[in-house]
Amino acid sequence: MHLYWTLIISPLIIAASGRREPPTCYNSRIVCAIFSAVWTRILFPATLTVQSSPLFQFGHRRTEKPDLNYLPWLQEAAQEVAVILLITFIFIRLLKLGTRRLIKLSHSQELIAGRRALQLRTLAGVLNSVGIFIVIFIAAMEILPIFGLDMGPLLASAGVVGIAIGFGAQTLVKDMLNGFFILVENQYNVGDVIQAAGVGGTVEEMTLRRTTLRDADGTLHVIPNSEIKIVSNKTRDWSRVQLRVAAAYEENSDRIMQLLREVADELRNDSSFAGMIVAEPEIPGIERVAGGEVDYLMQVKTLPGAPQYAVSRELRRRIKEKFEKNNIKAAGPAKVYVLNPGQTASGQENT
């Protein structure tokens, strides 16, 4: 009954987990669709056929010690083993076909972005390895009792060894599980700029066990996936350039905002930067007034990554030229006067 209940429950778990995934997670939808199709068309009918087979039932009813010198018994046992091996081979082939389909979809630019291809191929490899292990393990659990081996003590011993290994490698297991869910949920991709585990940088490499970041100084950070609790992705879908342009307090605010709009429109219509900007630039107005300066806010939505910094630098350059051409005074540093006791602001001593 082990094989029967395993195959009954597994698709239900896969389907339930697939419904909880957000609609942007391509991996979950593809995996659930492939497994659902294979299950309803092939695996479930094959399971029922095998369960009703006299050879299969005979193998589970056998409790006496087998006589290896008895030819009819050997023939029946060989037939049962051949049936189980045939089903195992079919399951492995179907699993390989499903994972190859995932890899093929990873090369389709119509369904998945280019940076998602690496993650999808990694997921296909994980599903293939884990699936083959599960199929072979179930097949071994069905074959060994045919030869009179009591699986109870063997499974109990394996459970004790597994617990010991689990305690010793629980951090590694946490790394792998967390890395798997990072991959499936598409929390970040290679090339994204993220903040995680107290450090930030560009994702250079990601595996099931670790994530490698390189910050602006060139420092390489290797983070075990179990240490990643909160991820701040700074380059998902789009980025925003926010400039606070400071001008002298006495300058006309309407004139400053008009000049900033002209700079934004010129950059938006420039063929070199038009493809980097994904929305119309915004000039909300005055952001801060302090001392002798006024800060004006400019916001521009751009493509994530390098385009964000290129647009930011070009905006600063054009704003400087525009202010110089229109004789706009830049905000100067605040002046602080320190007077000694008995001295006036002009520097003369009181008599």
Q: Is 335 left (phi over 0), alpha (psi -120 to 50) or beta?
A: beta
Distance CA 128, CA 31 (A): 12
Residue 62 has pLDDT above 80, yes or no: no
* Reported pTM: 0.54
Cα 301 off chain centre by: 23
Report the DSSP beta bridge partners of residue 343.
349
Contact between 113 and 30 under an 8 Å Cβ cutoff? The reply is: no
- Set out the domains of the chain in order of their start, with CATH numbers: 2-149 (no CATH), 187-233 (2.30.30.60), 239-325 (3.30.70.100)
Residue with structure tokens 């394996």?
A: 158
Cα 258 off chain centre by: 42
Residue 348 has pLDDT above 70, yes or no: no
Burial level of 34, CB count in 10 A (0-12/13-18/19+)?
A: buried
pLDDT digits (tens, 9 = 90+) for 193-246: 999 999 999 998 888 889 999 998 999 999 999 999 999 998 888 889 999 999
pLDDT digits (tens, 9 = 90+) for 131-189: 888 888 888 888 888 877 777 777 777 777 777 777 777 888 889 889 888 887 888 88
